[in-house]
Chain A
């Protein structure tokens, strides 16, 4: 089955700096890669996703890149703000079965004002 690894587990940046979180996956059949943001005591919320037919997707200050050959994808947050502080999860799922979605262990991002 799919195995998703996520790094780093914690990340601290100054407000205005960029933050990068990286994930690798093992199953070459995976074709959907969402990123979720989880604030304290709440459920995760989708912030951006990418499918395997594109290499990059951007939404304002957030971007995701995908390298299918190397089986890794990354989340980039530019001009970070204190409200970006949260736990971020990457995930990967197979084109054959959405119930096979696997999550990374999470990255706790702290943006210092």
Chain B
């Protein structure tokens, strides 16, 4: 089955700690994205990558970092510099061409305790 997988589904982090969210896809998509979702708001773009070893900041990149060492994988690190990290994080992928469908993972709910 082709798809995009995020893990873990739930994640708890102590203040001051970095934490990494996993995103893997076997759709052979070139482009991958990370979005943050807060109640009552749309999806806001954190980072995106159009090709391996390249990525760009989205609208709310501060306090986050990513890597794209493999086509299939696009992990997101939430650093201690992110002041309000509690949110629902969504990873997506697409073939990369303009005006094409984005496929989303099931999301990771991060809670800072």
| CB atoms of B107 and A42 under 8 A apart | yes
Tally of A-B Cβ pairs under 8 angstroms: 69
Q: With A and B bound together, what is the CA distance between A54 and B41 in angstroms?
A: 29
Q: Which of B11-19, B66-74, B79-87, B89-97 contacts A (4 or more CB under 8 A)?
A: B89-97
On whether the beta carbons of B99 and A93 are closer than 8 Å, the reply is yes
Complex-state Cα separation, A9 to B96, whole angstroms: 30
Shortest CB-to-CB span from B94 to chain A, Å, is 6
Does B31 lie within 8 Å of A99, measured CB to CB? yes
Query: Which of A96, A103, A105, A106 is B98 in contact with, Cβ under 8 Å?
Result: A96
**Selected contact of B33 from candidates A42, A94, A99, CB within 8 Å:** A99
B107:A32 contact, CB within 8 angstroms:
no
Is A103 within 8 A of B43, CB to CB? yes
**Chain A residue contacts of B48, Cβ below 8 A:** 99
Say yes or no for A7: interface residue by CB 8 A criterion. no
* Overall SS of chain A's interface: strand
Are the C-beta atoms of A4 and B45 separated by less than 8 Å? no
Please report the C-alpha to C-alpha distance between residue A101 and residue B31 in the assembled complex, in whole angstroms. Answer: 13
A-chain residues with CB within 8 Å of residue B2 when the two chains form the complex:
none
With the chains together, A9 CA to B42 CA distance in Å? 11
Tell me the count of chain A residues lying within 8 A, CB to CB, of chain B. 29
A20 in contact (CB, < 8 A)? no
Chain A's closest residue to B103 (CB) is: A46
B99 close to A99 (CB less than 8 A)? no
Residues of B within 8 A of A76 (CB): none
Listed in ascending order, the chain B residues whose CB lies under 8 Å from chain A are: 4, 6, 31, 33, 40-45, 48, 50, 56, 58, 90, 92, 94, 96-107, 109
Beyond the given pairs A43-B6, A44-B43, A46-B102, 11 more chain A to chain B contacts, judged by CB atoms under 8 angstroms and listed by A's residue number, are: A34-B101, A41-B106, A41-B107, A42-B106, A43-B92, A43-B105, A95-B99, A97-B98, A98-B98, A98-B99, A98-B100
Interface positions of A (Cβ within 8 A of B): 4, 6, 9, 31-32, 34, 36, 41-46, 49, 51, 89, 93-99, 101-106
